[in-house]
């Protein structure tokens, strides 16, 4: 089963960049990546073919090209337990979709050069079946 409940945030991204270029928001406000997000981007991010829309990192025409934008993919869901919120490679998602009933996936684009970050898309994966619940242990009869 493919992704469900897909939400694309391209219009929000475009509006944010329009506000930045019009001076309604500062670069400091949009380049505010959390240190944990930057660490995830460096170690788990998957490179894209896009350059940063703020600092133009990754643009070969730019005087000082550096790494392009990366996508960091996070998963959340009750069935994940302590691994909820973990960054995953996109190649791991089909296996997760087959193992769990409903997982929410968040894809964030990140520039490690300037800290630009924006939610790209969210969607749900999984079998869609109700989660299997473990039965509670029964107490021993008390003899009364």
Calculate the CA dihedral of residues 79, 9, 61, 55 and round it to 10 degrees. -80
> Is residue 135 over pLDDT 80?
no
d(CA 117, CA 27): 11
Residue extents of the structural domains in the chain: 4-125
Chain segment 17-70, per-residue pLDDT in tens: 999 999 999 999 999 999 999 999 999 999 999 989 998 865 666 555 567 899
Chain segment 80-103, per-residue pLDDT in tens: 888 888 898 989 899 988 888 889
pLDDT number for residue 46: 95
138 or 121, which is more confident: 121
d(CA 130, CA 85): 21
Q: What is the mean pLDDT of residues 116-125?
A: 95
d(CA 32, CA 115): 6
pLDDT number for residue 136: 55
Q: Assign 43 to helix, strand or coil.
A: helix
pLDDT number for residue 9: 96
Q: Assign 46 to helix, strand or coil.
A: strand
pLDDT number for residue 62: 59
Tell me the CA end-to-end span of the chain in Å, nearest whole number.
51
Q: Beta-strand (E) ranges in the chain?
A: 4-8, 46-47, 70-76, 86-88, 103-110, 117-125
pLDDT number for residue 81: 84
pLDDT number for residue 133: 62
* Alpha helix stretches (DSSP H) within 1-144: 10-22, 27-30, 35-44, 93-99
């Amino acid at each position: 089963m493919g992704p469900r409940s897909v939400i694309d945030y391209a219009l929000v991204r475009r509006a944010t960049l329009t506000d930045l270029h019009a001076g309604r928001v500062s670069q400091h406000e949009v380049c505010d990546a959390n240190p944990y997000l930057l660490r995830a981007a460096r170690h788990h991010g998957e490179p894209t073919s896009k350059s940063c829309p703020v600092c133009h990192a990754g643009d070969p025409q730019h005087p000082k090209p550096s790494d392009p934008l990366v996508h960091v993919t996070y998963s959340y869901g009750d069935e994940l337990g302590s691994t909820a919120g973990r960054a995953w490679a996109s190649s791991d998602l089909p296996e997760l979709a087959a193992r769990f009933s409903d997982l929410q996936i968040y894809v964030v684009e990140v520039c490690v050069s300037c800290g630009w970050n924006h939610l790209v898309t969210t969607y749900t994966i999984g079998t869609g079946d109700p989660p299997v619940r473990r039965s509670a242990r029964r107490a021993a009869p008390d003899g009364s």
